[in-house]
Amino acid sequence: MLGGRISVLIVDDHPLLREGVAAVLEAEGDMVVVGEAKDGAEAVALFAQTGPDIVLMDLQMPDIDGVEAIAAIRAQAPRARIIVLTTYAGDVRALRALKAGASGYLLKSSLRRELIDTIRAVHSGKRQLHPQVAHDIAINATAEPLSEREIDVLRRVSTGQANKEIARGLALSEDTVKGHMRSIFNKLEVTDRTQAVTVGHRRGIIQL
């Protein structure tokens, strides 16, 4: 707390979003923005300098992304309270952030009141998830996850590579790639490559 107010560090690579969030928070009598960072590396450094009560963390940023930054901050301050503020509702990406140490997960489409309420809730020690994110996590809780190799294959499919190209790039046989594709289709409950990429992106398994 800074002068009885909740101190907040905002991390996002878009300056206009940082300014907008800062304006919303500064309008609240019990909150103060102590810093703004444009990427994960700057976030870790600023956290060490300012020791904020709350970090608002974007996920997709250059160099060190949000999940890596969350893990790095929690390594130096295990009690750090971090809220993800992102465009992505995907359950896989949300779980990665939560496992790294995030206490909250909000979408950038959230209303101003949701943001304020979540900051206060997390500051008081609670965990808070956007309803859509919580729903997606619950729906996919029993789904079998893709293996690292399957994610590699799906990532290459998303760039338009054919099975032969994927096999060459990963030093696999084409039959092995076809086997991975069958497994990916089964796990994601899809019937073609386009659906696989769409679902993989929506769930946060791959980035486009």
> What's the structural domain count of the chain?
2
Residue 40 and residue 132 in one domain: yes
What's the confidence (pLDDT) of residue 89?
Answer: 83
pLDDT tens digits along 39-70: 999 999 999 999 999 999 999 888 888 999 99
Which DSSP letter does residue 66 get? H
What's the confidence (pLDDT) of residue 54?
Answer: 98
**Tokens for 167?**
């096999």
How far apart CA 71 and CA 32 sit, in angstroms, is: 24
pLDDT tens digits along 105-160: 999 998 899 999 999 999 999 999 999 899 888 888 888 999 999 999 999 999 99
What's the confidence (pLDDT) of residue 208?
Answer: 78
Mapped onto helix, strand or coil, the DSSP state of residue 33 is strand
Confidence (pTM): 0.82
What's the confidence (pLDDT) of residue 34?
Answer: 97
Residue 52, judged by CB atoms within 10 A of its CB (0-12, 13-18, 19+), counts as: buried
What's the confidence (pLDDT) of residue 63?
Answer: 83
Q: Is a pLDDT exceeding 80 seen at residue 2?
A: no
Is 101 a domain residue? Answer: yes
Q: Is a pLDDT exceeding 80 seen at residue 16?
A: yes
SS3 breakdown of the chain: % helix, strand, coil, rounded to 5? 50, 15, 35
Residue 169 and residue 69 in one domain: no
Is 208 a domain residue? Answer: no
What's the confidence (pLDDT) of residue 32?
Answer: 96
**Phi, psi at 85, each rounded to 5°:** -130, 105
Residue 116 and residue 154 in one domain: no
What's the confidence (pLDDT) of residue 3?
Answer: 64
Residue 49 and residue 19 in one domain: yes
Residue 121 and residue 173 in one domain: no
pLDDT tens digits along 65-108: 899 999 999 999 999 999 999 988 889 989 999 999 999 999 99
How far apart CA 191 and CA 180 sit, in angstroms, is: 13
pLDDT tens digits along 23-46: 999 999 999 999 999 999 999 999
